[in-house]
Structure 1
Amino acid sequence: MREPYPIQQWLPAGPLRDMGERYVSQLPDVEQNPIRPESLMHHSDHSWSEYLVAYSLLYPGVVILLAILGGAGMWAMFHFCKRREYRHRIVCPECGTVMYPCGLHCPKCGAPNPFPRALNWLGYSRLRKVVPESGRIRHEEALRSFRRCFYCGEPLKEPTLLQKCPACGKAVLQGERSVDIYDTYISRRTWWTFGAVVFLGIIPILGPLLASSLYKRTLIDPYSLYMTVFRESFLMVFLFLCRHLFRLLPFIGIIGMPILCLTEYHVYRRMFLWKTEKYEFGEN
């Protein structure tokens, strides 16, 4: 009968394999000395410390692998939703202009869309869910948070407030009141997002990945999509690097991710509001 393949040979060459071989060699012979509570406690102090070292060594590689797989899946989802939305564009009932299903008005004649579609979590039109009449003001802010025209739903190309919709010519913001409404809309997400980040940070390996992706989409992107981060502030770049570094360090996500969530939110928000203070609404 073929002998089983030594478990330590599955480990990569180097300190991790040496530690595995040393650990396996210290295991008791179960046939001669069956494992009892006292023998288990005798070996537990060694095993937990070695498991901790192994976990710390393998953690960055596993996180990077999961991040690559998750990024590839997100890229595929983005392209699928984008192509699906483009194929399902609708025609204005008044002038026949082709428009996006999520738009509230026709970009050419301004006729209201009788059945505007809600946005999915990636910012593309859903095919079945219709925005109710009472939710149209909120839908405008949802469109802005994905860098789309609040009026006709056209995607905006530039990461700046100083642009107009290429389809209808509307400016990104319509006045100081629109800034306040948009900021309030994003601020309402703060505490439930923070609670979710705290909970996700407890989950090993996958938790920090999900936590950083969640608060980036709900709290950071609505502001950063209108800024060129690497040109705005060194602090914003530093926080961006910390967000990715904290994913690779074990046990950091439990405390680091919630703190980073609130810090990034306040920094990006203040930078966005500072830019709107210099924004010339009258010129748009």
Structure 2
Amino acid sequence: MDLTSLIYLTGASGFFTSRAFIPAFFTAVFLRYGEHFPWIGTMEFVQTTGAEPTWFTNNYTILALGVLSILEVGATKIPEAQEALDGVHKYAKTGLSALAAMGVLGSRDIAFAEGMISQAGVFEMVVSAVVGGAVFFFSTIRSGVMDLLAMSDPDDDLGIRGLISWFEDLWSSFGIFLLILYPFVILTVLAVVLGLLFAMRKWAEYKEEKSRIPCTSCGELVYACAVECPKCHTAVENPKDIGFFSQTVDRPAQPGKEQELRLVSKRRCAKCATRIEKRRLPQSCPVCEHSILSDRADQELYTAKVRNRLPKVLGVTFLLSLVPILGIIPGIIYYRIQLIAPFRAYIPASRGFVLRWVVRILFLLLISLQLIPGLGGFMVPIMALISYALYSGYFNKTLREGSSPA
């Protein structure tokens, strides 16, 4: 293995952190057909990579990777599918990166024949393992950041995860070719991006831990936004409020049950403020074992709290809907955050997926009617009412059924 291959594999590991199949697909295409691309076709590295197709640059392998890449792009645009992928995605990225590393090393070997394992030397196997390990490490960091966004905004109403997803698609696709043309520049960019992800995750963990305060009774560290200690259940004096991204903010909490309901709406335990990862009801807090919304009175208060927002939401969305085209996006984001997110946070992903697409198809007609003068002002409020009715109905059904599979 030469220095050029080592540089390429080091840089490519950064692209596998974002996607599993896209970098593998473009790497295989580059190895097989790179000499036909402008600018890079005359490079020595390209001309020595695969006059003879290998297992990795075989047309069937490229076709399979291409199909899987398209499916991967589609899946990452749907929050429910993305959540399902996150559990196994980093393992797929790790495996694909190691296989791609073997493919690069194998295509650089003139004597390469059948059987990748028997042909690859010990050093090549070590390099592949190192590349896979690096991808697993950085994928874990990325998952931590994306999990924080997913718990704060499960429906991606703000579009932050969608924007990141499109950027990662472009980055994984075209970054591979930039790596060939400007290897050291791309390596620097990768180092900066991965460093920022690492710093963001550590900063979030630091802020979360720094928000803890000692319990006045037993000394146990408790989140400042919690209502009581998870160990001795002593009430927290003057708890702090919780922000949009479910982080502790430096302002007084809302009084009484309001704080507990606000914690629940942000997918945190109503008592100790521990983050709740599962999307189902009923369920117990993994730390203090408090049962989330198990009490009928709490359920009624929670649904009433959301229902009381309807008049304000309908008024705001009516005013926004009067602005053709431009008023739709902020109007939809506003009513989803206010009316839908508190319910959807506890609707199982399987139901949420079906419900989301039913709502999307229904709203295609309503959005087209928004262009009609006078009538357009009622479109977003109608969308808000329909969404509220459907999601609140599913939420109440989940409560009635008791435990549902996540």
TM-score > 0.5, shorter chain as reference:
yes
User: 1:235, CA displacement in angstroms?
Assistant: 4.3
Query: 1:207 Cα shift?
Result: 2.3
* 2:260 alignment counterpart: 140
- The residue identity in structure 1 corresponding to 2:328 is P
- Alignment size in residue pairs: 208
Distance in 1 (CA, whole Å) between partners of 2:359 and 2:396 is 18
Q: Given residue 183 of structure 1, which amino acid in structure 2 is its aligned partner?
A: T
* Structure 1 residue ranges without an equivalent (≥5): 1-65
Structure 1 Cα separation of the partners of residues 313 and 332 of structure 2: 10
The residue type equivalent to 2:227 in the other structure is: L
Report the CA distance between 1:251 and its aligned residue: 3.1
Pick closer, same or farther for the CA change 1:71–1:233 going to 2, 3 Å.
closer
User: Deviation at 1:124?
Assistant: 2.3
CA distance in 2, matches of 1:229, 1:239: 15
Distance 1:185 1:155 in 2: 21
| Range with greater deviation from structure 2 (225-234 or 254-263) | 225-234
Corresponding residue to 1:97 among 207, 210, 220: 220
Give me the whole-angstrom Cα distance separating, in 2, the residues matched to 1:68 and 1:185.
26
Q: Distance in 2 between matches of 1:69 and 1:169?
A: 31
What secondary structure sits across from 2:371 in the alignment? coil
Residues 1:159 and 2:282 are matched in the alignment: no
Q: Secondary structure at the match of 1:170?
A: coil
Whether 2:232 is the aligned partner of 1:109: answer yes
Unaligned runs of 5+ in 2: 1-157, 165-196
Q: Quick one: distance in 2 between partners of 1:232 and 1:122? A: 21
Q: Which residue of 2 aligns with 1:36?
A: none
Task: Give the aligned partner of residue 398 of structure 2.
Answer: 275
SS for the counterpart of 2:267 is: coil
The answer to whether the Cα contact below 8 Å between 1:150 and 1:172 also exists between their aligned partners in 2 is: yes
Distance 1:228 1:244 in 2: 25
- Report whether the alignment pairs 1:191 with 2:314: no
What's the secondary structure of 1:104's corresponding residue? coil
1:238 and 1:186, CA in 2 relative to 1: closer, same or farther beyond 3 A? same
Query: Please, what is the CA RMSD of the aligned residues?
Result: 3.3
C-alpha deviations, 1:62-93, integer Å up to 9, x for none? xxxx9569956xxx9x9777763443222222
Aligned match of 1:45: none
Partner Cα distance (1:68, 1:131) in 2: 27
Query: What is the TM-score normalised by the length of structure 1?
Result: 0.63
- Partners of 1:69 and 1:255 in 2: how far apart? 29
Larger CA deviation: 178-187 vs 248-257: 248-257
Determine the structure 1 residue equivalent to 2:249: 126
1:257 aligned residue: 380
1:178 aligns with 2:298: yes
Secondary structure in structure 2 of the residue aligned to 1:90: strand
Identify which range, 252-261 or 241-250, moves more after superposition. 241-250
Question: Is the 1:209–1:247 contact (alpha carbons within 8 Å) kept by the matching residues of 2?
Answer: no
CA distance in 1, matches of 2:360, 2:209: 32
Conserved 8 A contact 1:197-1:211: yes
Partner of 1:140, secondary structure, is helix
**Separation in 2 of the partners of 1:208 and 1:246?**
11
| Structure 2 CA distance for aligned equivalents of residues 230 and 257 of structure 1 | 26
Question: Offset at 1:205?
Answer: 4.6
2:327 corresponds to: 207
Q: For residues 166 and 235 of structure 1, do their structure 2 counterparts lie closer, same or farther at Cα, with a shift above 3 Å needed?
A: closer
The change in CA–CA distance for 1:81 and 1:209 in structure 2 (over 3 A counts) is farther
Map Cα deviations across residues 147-192 of structure 1 (whole Å, 9 max, x no partner).
1111111110001113211121111123212211111111111110
- Give the percent of matched residue pairs that are identical in Structure 1 and Structure 2: 26
More helix, by proportion: 2
Q: What's the offset of the Cα at 1:272?
A: 0.9
CA distance in 2, matches of 1:83, 1:251: 48
Paired position in structure 2 for 1:239: 359
* Counterpart residue identity of residue 292, structure 2: V
1:118 partner SS:
strand
